[in-house]
Amino acid sequence: MIDSIFKFLLFVGIFSFASVLCVAQTPGNRDEQKEDLPKNIKESLIKSRIEQEKKDHEELLQKAEEATKLSAELQEAYEKNKTLSAEDKKKLERLEKLLKKIRKDLGGGDDNDDSKDNSDNSTETEKPSNVVTALSKLRSTSVGLFDELKKTSRFSISVVAIQSSNAILKVIRFLRFNN
C-alpha cells in the first residue's frame, strides 16, 4: 500500500515538474516577439503605419471638403426654391453621415454629450430661428470646420473641430425636423 502511494506521489511530482518546464519554454510576451523581428521588417511596419495615418488624414480632409460643398449646395438650392426638395433632404442626410464620421475620426463622442457645460461656445450652440439662418450657419460652420481641419496634422486632435461638427449636427437636426 505504501509502495503504491509512493509511486503515485512520484508520478505526480514528475508530471508537475514536466509541466513547469513546458510552461517556462513558451514565450510569455508579444513584445519580446516584436523585438526579435529583423530591423528591415520593423522599418517596413513603421512605414506602413505612417502611410496609413497620412491616408486617414487625407480622407478626413476630403470628407470635410465634401461637407462644405454639400452645405453650399443646400443653401443655394434653398435660395432658389425657398424650400428643400427631396434631393436636398438626401444631401442633408449625407451631410449628417459625413459629419458623424468626421467627429468619430477626430475622437469625438456620441450625440449624448450635449449635457455637458458649453458656456464657452454658447453662440455656436444656439438654435437658429428659421431655415435661412440655419442654412447660413450650416455653411459658415462647415467652412470653419474645413479650415480648422486643414490647420491640423495627423498627430493632433482639434477640440474646435469636434465642437464645430457637433454644432453642424445640431443645425442639421433643426433643418430635418423643422422642415
SS (H, E, C) 62-112: HHHHHHHHHHHHHHHHHHHHCCCCHHHHHHHHHHHHHHHHHHHHHCCCCHH
pLDDT digits (tens, 9 = 90+) for 78-121: 999 988 899 999 999 999 999 999 999 988 877 654 444 444 44
Looking at residue 30, its pLDDT comes to 52
Q: With 70 as the cut, is the pLDDT of residue 168 above it?
A: yes
- Which pLDDT band holds residue 35 (cuts at 50, 70, 90)? low
- Which pLDDT band holds residue 24 (cuts at 50, 70, 90)? low
Query: How many angstroms separate the CA atoms of 120 and 103, rounded?
Result: 19
Query: Could you tell me how far CA 100 lies from the centroid of its own chain?
Result: 9
Which segment of 70-79, 100-109, 115-124, 157-166 scores lowest on mean pLDDT? 115-124
Looking at residue 121, its pLDDT comes to 45
Q: With 70 as the cut, is the pLDDT of residue 136 above it?
A: yes
Query: How many angstroms separate the CA atoms of 13 and 85, rounded?
Result: 81
Supply the Cα-derived Rg of the chain in whole angstroms. Answer: 29
Query: How many angstroms separate the CA atoms of 141 and 95, rounded?
Result: 13
Query: How many angstroms separate the CA atoms of 89 and 177, rounded?
Result: 11
Looking at residue 33, its pLDDT comes to 55
Q: What's the distance, Cα to Cα, between the start and end of the chain in Å? A: 92
Of 178, 177, 179, 151, the C-alpha closest to 164 is 151
Higher pLDDT, 121 or 169: 169
As a whole number, mean pLDDT of residues 11-34 equals 65
Looking at residue 155, its pLDDT comes to 83
**Per residue, what are the HEC states of 119-153?**
HHHHHHHCCCCCHHHHHHHHHHHHHHHHHHHHHCC
pTM of the model: 0.68
Looking at residue 114, its pLDDT comes to 46
